[in-house]
Structure 1
Amino acid sequence: MPSPAEFAVALPAMTAWRQDFHRHPELGFQEHRTAARVADLLRGWGIAVTEGIAGTGVVGTIQGRPGNRAIALRADMDALAMTEATGLTYASTTPDRMHACGHDGHTAMLLGAAEWLAAHRDRFAGTVQLVFQPAEESLGGARVMAEEGLFERFPVDAIYGLHNLPGLPLGTVAVPKGPVLASSDTWEVTFTGIGTHGAKPHLGRDATLAAAAFILGLQAIAAREVDPLGTAVVSVGHIAAGDAVAPNVIPHSVFLRGTARALEEAVRTHLETRIREIAKAVALQHRVQAAPRYIRRLGPTVNHAAQAAVMLAAATGTATAVRDDHPPITAGEDFSEFLARIPGAYAWLGTGEPVHPEGFQHNVHFDFPDAALPHGAAFWCSLVERELA
């Protein structure tokens, strides 16, 4: 079973790949350079490559000894629309583009594992599908890959995902039992009333007042309608109404947009129902019109028990520490699209404390630590050896 120490010789190469990806970030479904580099490296190690799934997705196929089982390992490749402020020598060279979530590290770790697996095909029996996925950040790349026949073209018995987690000690692998991440949905409501002069509110029907009542009403859902031991989040992220240069005008309409999160499908459905009901009730109370809309984006990421157990066992041989009790996180992940179709599990890889005090994910100071690369690559190889023994 390979250890992180065995990957010390590969660390310079993995670091070079990771920093190259970091220097050239690409948004979802635009990862053309990244995908081409991944495909070239895989081919150089004698790995069969399929390109163009979901536009920029890449799948590398490694055949070990004869065997009937197959598994998939997934890494995401896309960056975020942010302006980097790290000051690193390999900082982003593209304006308003940045690897602020560590997908550059995920890609480099899976490449490191790919090179090792290609050179040690006698260590496992069956097939490994390396899935380099585009557009994890909000655009649903996993769903598109699945809809374009990923699992029909590359049948597997299970799929696994690994994501960096700042704050978790370096090299620690955490595999939650059950929910890992929350659903991530978007809701919208437009309240339409009758605009009027701010000095004569009685002549209109104030959509702004209805919007304010709606925002307060939302807070009761999580506070009073969901089990206190459960998880629900409803947040308002955008409000648009009126014109800043005309504060003496009560606008005729107000538009609100926000996010809803849950760890269970039943709670998710309750959030959708109640957001619609509260919008309609508030509109009736204030004699305005309400047009609510709920957009289901990503379901909860929930580990399958058998595959979570496999990840924990694989981590026991390679990780500096192993946890099965990490609490769920209310962020969302489109890996849930894969888990809704086939068995699998998702783990966290600890990357230690960030160098910068504000260097957590989705922050302009974030940078994936290269010291974590051998830990991730070794874990992937250990998982393959255990699953395809």
Structure 2
Amino acid sequence: MMYEKEVKEKVTAILPQVVTWRRHFHEYPELSGKEVKTSAYIQEVFKNLGIPYETGFFQNAVLGIIKGSHPGKTVALRADMDALPVTELTGLPFASKNEGVMHACGHDGHMSILLGAAAVLNEMKDQIHGTVKIVFQPAEEEAAIGGGRHIAASGKLDDVSEIYGLHVWPELPTGQVGLKPGSLMAASDRFYVHIKGKSTHAAQPHNGTDALVAAAHFIIDVQSLISREMNPMDNVVCTIGLMNAGTRYNVGVEDAYLEGTCRTYRPELRDKMEARLGEILKGLDVMFHTHSELNYVRGHSATINTPEKIDFLKKVGKAYLGEEHITEPEFPSMCAEDFSSYLEKFPGAFFWLGTGDGNTPALHNASFAINESILPLGITLEAAAALEALSR
């Protein structure tokens, strides 16, 4: 490993600015597809750092380009930009000023870490053999948009030989870097169900068709599908998180609407879940004389790390951060990430950066916030990954 001392010095120097960037992002979050001011802020930082960049190829995405002084291949680093429709409860002095919107998934940390890594790399470009592309991606949280999918298909990264990214992770102790080869995060699909019955007076249920009873059976049948048809050694989750039904306590329910998510790793199980949900509804229609519709929407694919790139990151991490910071998580997560779109096209690795203390709220929680002590670790590993990849 070639650059440990210089990288650490530059990370220490840039850290106060990174904290300022992070707090700005946290204070002014924007939803998926609406990251206009976030994008403008990143562009302004790039201008101040003297890093050329491109926009206009997908929504609010920004692509920084750091060309080294020597010829070589191209590697990419990526961060996501969007926030969630959550009302913040952290009590931080720099809490969200955009009502009902919050960086509850740590993307404020991802962006500031990547800007820090870009600043370090730009100062060291005379030593770089090749090019580093700095990808700021919108719409990670909204699978229907899928920012990663669009950027991977845009052609802007076609010269990339490998790509790296991170996610802050409250389930790991603060300062631990989770590096896991193969399956890391699940495919995420969303489904919508409409069960249509016939309304009647609640005192005369025989004169109608109760969509709510059919919906209750559907919920139980889906859980039975998971517990009785799926191999318990497979990673499969199906959760129904929303149901709307009924208009009044004494009126039989005519329409029931449900929404849920399926999480899988193997494509054949993804196909099976979609097929079986439809078959369950058809059976319930026969039993209850309802008329049901299923809209099954494919979201992010599973995030599958390239084993060789994880091995590479482990070596880099141990050299730059110390062996005590590197761990291999025992289990993958059923949460999803559209970094999967890049890994389907390019070799690379996605790692978790621990920010937990045993009481840290979960991701997507209104009280979640990163521990800022992890910022230099993320900057160091991202910058070192690019430098070392381009030195080989």
TM-score (norm 1): 0.94
The code of the aligned residue for 1:276 comes to G
Match of 1:115 in 2: 119
- Further displaced range: 3-12 or 202-211: 3-12
Measure the CA separation in 1 of the matches of 2:83 and 2:118.
22
| 1:92 maps to 2:84 | no
**Share of identical aligned residues, percent?**
37
Measure the CA separation in 1 of the matches of 2:97 and 2:196.
44
Measure the CA separation in 2 of the matches of 1:273 and 1:227.
17
Query: Contact between 1:175 and 1:326, CA under 8 Å: does it hold in 2?
Result: no
Distance 1:330 1:190, change over 3 A: same
Measure the CA separation in 2 of the matches of 1:70 and 1:100.
32
Deviation at 1:5, TM superposition (A): 4.8
Deviation at 1:201, TM superposition (A): 1.4
Match of 1:161 in 2: 165
Measure the CA separation in 2 of the matches of 1:340 and 1:207.
41
Deviation at 1:280, TM superposition (A): 0.8
Measure the CA separation in 2 of the matches of 1:309 and 1:221.
37
Match of 2:155 in 1: 149
1:141-290 to 2 correspondences below 5 Å:
141-152=147-158, 155-243=159-247, 246-290=248-292
**1:87-138 deviations in Å (ceiling 9; x for gaps):** 2111111111111111111111111111111111233311100001111112
**1:134-189 deviations in Å (ceiling 9; x for gaps):** 1111241112323433324xx20111111111142222211111111111111122
Measure the CA separation in 1 of the matches of 2:360 and 2:370.
13
Match of 2:348 in 1: 344
Query: Contact between 1:101 and 1:362, CA under 8 Å: does it hold in 2?
Result: yes
Distance 1:333 1:288, change over 3 A: same
Measure the CA separation in 2 of the matches of 1:129 and 1:326.
31
Query: Contact between 1:2 and 1:381, CA under 8 Å: does it hold in 2?
Result: no
Give me the CA root mean square deviation: 1.7
Measure the CA separation in 1 of the matches of 2:362 and 2:221.
32
Match of 2:136 in 1: 132
Distance 1:183 1:113, change over 3 A: same
Query: Contact between 1:304 and 1:344, CA under 8 Å: does it hold in 2?
Result: yes
Query: Contact between 2:78 and 2:135, CA under 8 Å: does it hold in 1?
Result: yes
Query: Contact between 1:29 and 1:54, CA under 8 Å: does it hold in 2?
Result: no
Query: Contact between 1:72 and 1:130, CA under 8 Å: does it hold in 2?
Result: yes
SS at 1:371 equivalent: helix
Measure the CA separation in 2 of the matches of 1:276 and 1:81.
30
Match of 1:367 in 2: 369
Structure 2: state its 5+ residue gaps: none
**1:42-91 deviations in Å (ceiling 9; x for gaps):** 23222211123322110111111423311110011111111112221111
- Further displaced range: 304-313 or 221-230: 304-313
| 1:37 maps to 2:41 | yes
The code of the aligned residue for 2:309 comes to Q
Deviation at 1:324, TM superposition (A): 2.7
Measure the CA separation in 2 of the matches of 1:105 and 1:2.
23
Query: Contact between 1:161 and 1:346, CA under 8 Å: does it hold in 2?
Result: yes
TM-score (norm 2): 0.93
The code of the aligned residue for 2:147 comes to G
Structure 1: state its 5+ residue gaps: none
The code of the aligned residue for 1:311 comes to L
Query: Contact between 1:177 and 1:325, CA under 8 Å: does it hold in 2?
Result: no
2:328 pairs with 324, 331, 341, which one?
A: 324
The code of the aligned residue for 2:165 comes to G
Query: Contact between 1:26 and 1:79, CA under 8 Å: does it hold in 2?
Result: yes
| 1:2 maps to 2:4 | yes
Number of residue-to-residue matches in the alignment: 383
**1:322-343 deviations in Å (ceiling 9; x for gaps):** 1234411111111112222222
Match of 2:83 in 1: 79
